[in-house]
Structure 1
Amino acid sequence: MERTIMPLVSIIIPAYNAENTIARTIKSALLQDYSNLEVIVVDDGSADSTLSICRDLAEKDSRAKIFTIKNSGPSAARNYALSKAKGLYVCFMDADDEMKPKMISQLVSNMTDDTDLVTCGYTVRSDNGDHAFDQNLEERSYSNDHFYEFVEETQEFKAFNPLWNKIFRRSIIENNNLHMDTMVNMGEDYLFIVNYCNMCLGGYKTLADNLYIYSLSQDGLQVTANRDGNLERRLDQIEILDDIFTQRNYPKQAISKEKLRIIYTSLLESNDVRNDLDMIRKNKYLDDIKLEKSNTAAKYTVFLNILRKNNRMIAYTAINLFKLMKKMQGKNFRWR
């Protein structure tokens, strides 16, 4: 019987002051049912015992490769790890999360010759470690020329932006000199993924299984940027996607949906709704949004119509109602 060759997979973990969670994270990677791995941990100048914990684990399993750099932020740590990676494929983790045992094997088995990116669903774990909810995707393949549909479907379940629920081809990253933008302190993962997808010649695939556990704990890799200004930042960053959609001659409403989704999400997370509403009106963000009601989720259509009334009281009431709906679904948290 011919033996199947298992390609090497590089799992990249940046870690900063993650002494409470890093062992659990690394062990979940090493205990995959897929054995041909290298787990690259970059200690980002931690001031606690993170580095010593990582080195102890590496002594017990040679697949764990530990590096340390001067504190420079998660993007610099990931870039450093990419320079050391040798795998055919690359995956990412955060230092307070876990992979379920079959994650790598399922991601690799779906990276066929005509597929360049595979994305899975995930489980969200609350601050106290309890199960909060699952983000479920459908099992589906998208051809390269239907990138906009891949974006739309995964964005609806907050599954497009994260690095950690995906597997990438290292050759695409290296051949196109892709890297994390160290000048961006929020949304750098989104920009990396957009650029990666634009360089793919093959298609994209989503898996129905939830294979990653995303933790809302306060340990591990933390984003410390001020969340005020998220609306403006997100709309600025979406311009790169707008350019790609325009170059590919995608339907106009494809980018309209993404802009409206950003406005919806940002207003529901905003610390200053009044300022964000004024900014939306001042910059006329709603003017170029054109939607086909039959192809747009009802909540977005209703939200857009409310905002276009330019009545702050009605907008406040609507935003609070939408927040209440999220709370009833158990999803009333703010992403880091």
Structure 2
Amino acid sequence: MISIIVPVYNTENFVCECIKSLLSQTYTDIEIIIVDDGSSDKSLNICREFEKKDSRIKVYHKENSGVSDTRNYGIKLANGDYISFCDSDDIVDPKLYQMLWDTMNKFQVDRVVSGYAYLFDDGHTLYNKPRVADGRYEASFILKKMIDDGSLSGFLFSGVNNSLFKTKIIKENNIEFDSKIRYNEDSLFSLKYMLASNAIYSLQSKSTYFYRQHNSSATKTRLVGDRYEKLRSSLRNLHLENLDIDFDIQMKRRIVTEALWQILDVSKKENRTEAIRDIRKIIIKKDLRNCLNEIKFKELNIYKKYYYILIKLKMTWLLYISTSKLFPILTKYLSR
């Protein structure tokens, strides 16, 4: 059985469609664990109505404490041999869990990851191009590039919503989401899981999970400032330096990747004077300058090459203008 954990917080306009997509799965041996994280709208009532109609749905309510605590709450309640996660404002393809389960058993891996797309209010979708080809990968190989592969894209296999995990690995290794990390918390969970795994299978060419894009979407909201400090600290506290995973190099790459993300956020959320000032502070940092050569320039797409060159040449004005004026839509996906 697959336990699908759905954290819910004030998504009354979307949770109904989300639950319907889960109930429409061709793989029917599922339990849907819905955990309401102290919603103040009608989300909990909507979920309770579904619970009355289908015995596979189990609804729980707790005080608001964030998505990490809510997912951890669901993990403790999971009865299935496998665990997956779904956000309450997203929807999934009817064949998603059948595909994940079939692949898990066929290739004898510890995790299967499908692809995803962005779903917009007008109904159109934007496919997210995979960073690795479909296939089976040993953990020892993936761990050498999982934190940062040098492509200015951040964690590899970071998202948990389009994946299938083994419950046994999660519970025997006490793997959980860190509630102190407010951004990229799923990346740390994925890394800890990979450290306890043997192999993963990528099916990212199959776009079966749809991240809804709206004003309150967690995947759309980005905060200005160094929101990655706690994640970096947690990564270092794992003491991975002695493992054969190029940890130091990956962390240096991540400094550059995070600098790009900060530049994008600053350019779009601050006024011109403040943005230019803060961008300059970002690009002149000694740590960043010392890490630029760790990026795999030849593997960057044309847009990331453009931004990399501007950062390397310290072209503050062009970085601001490019983000705020020239490519305001494109830059939304540069960090993906």
Answer whether contact 1:11 1:40 (CA < 8 A) is retained. yes
How does the TM-score come out when normalised to structure 2? Answer: 0.82
Q: Deviations over 1:95-127 (max 9, x none)?
A: 11111000001111111464112111112111x
Within 5 Å, which residues of 2 pair with 1:178-189?
A: 178-189=175-186
Choose 198-207 or 66-75, whichever is displaced more: 198-207
Within 5 Å, which residues of 2 pair with 1:40-55?
A: 40-55=33-48
Query: In the TM superposition, what is the alpha-carbon distance from 1:304 to its structure 2 partner?
Result: 3.4
Query: What is the match of residue 4 of structure 1?
Result: none
Question: In structure 2, how many angstroms separate the alpha carbons of the residues matched to 1:204 and 1:120?
Answer: 9
> Equivalent pairs: percent with the same residue?
25
1:120 pairs, out of 114, 131, 135, with: 114
Within 5 Å, which residues of 2 pair with 1:127-276?
A: 128-137=121-130, 138-147=133-142, 148-149=144-145, 152=149, 156=153, 160-218=157-215, 222=218, 227-229=223-225, 232-234=226-228, 237-238=231-232, 246-251=241-246, 254-270=250-266, 271-272=269-270, 273=275, 274-276=277-279
Change (3 A) 1:184 1:165: same
Amino acid across the alignment from 1:285: L
Question: In structure 2, how many angstroms separate the alpha carbons of the residues matched to 1:87 and 1:139?
Answer: 26
Query: What is the match of residue 288 of structure 1?
Result: 291
Answer whether contact 1:115 1:205 (CA < 8 A) is retained. no
User: In the alignment, is residue 30 of structure 1 matched against residue 33 of structure 2?
Assistant: no
Query: In the TM superposition, what is the alpha-carbon distance from 1:235 to its structure 2 partner?
Result: 5.8
List runs of 5+ in structure 1 lacking aligned partners: 1-7
Query: In the TM superposition, what is the alpha-carbon distance from 1:191 to its structure 2 partner?
Result: 1.6
Q: Deviations over 1:189-245 (max 9, x none)?
A: 2221121112212334333210111101246x758987011xx23365246557776
Query: In the TM superposition, what is the alpha-carbon distance from 1:78 to its structure 2 partner?
Result: 1.0
Query: In the TM superposition, what is the alpha-carbon distance from 1:168 to its structure 2 partner?
Result: 1.1
Question: In structure 1, how many angstroms separate the alpha carbons of the residues matched to 2:295 and 2:150?
Answer: 16
**Matched position secondary structure for 1:42:** strand
Answer whether contact 1:97 1:214 (CA < 8 A) is retained. yes
List runs of 5+ in structure 2 lacking aligned partners: none
Amino acid across the alignment from 2:134: E
Query: What is the match of residue 87 of structure 1?
Result: 80
Query: In the TM superposition, what is the alpha-carbon distance from 1:132 to its structure 2 partner?
Result: 3.4
Question: In structure 1, how many angstroms separate the alpha carbons of the residues matched to 2:151 and 2:197?
Answer: 17
**Matched position secondary structure for 2:180:** coil
Choose 136-145 or 34-43, whichever is displaced more: 136-145
**Matched position secondary structure for 2:175:** coil
Answer whether contact 1:140 1:207 (CA < 8 A) is retained. no
Query: In the TM superposition, what is the alpha-carbon distance from 1:37 to its structure 2 partner?
Result: 0.1
Answer whether contact 1:33 1:105 (CA < 8 A) is retained. yes
Query: In the TM superposition, what is the alpha-carbon distance from 1:302 to its structure 2 partner?
Result: 4.8
Amino acid across the alignment from 1:234: Y
Choose 272-281 or 137-146, whichever is displaced more: 272-281
Answer whether contact 1:186 1:223 (CA < 8 A) is retained. no
Q: Deviations over 1:168-187 (max 9, x none)?
A: 11111111111111222222
How does the TM-score come out when normalised to structure 1? Answer: 0.82
Change (3 A) 1:289 1:155: closer
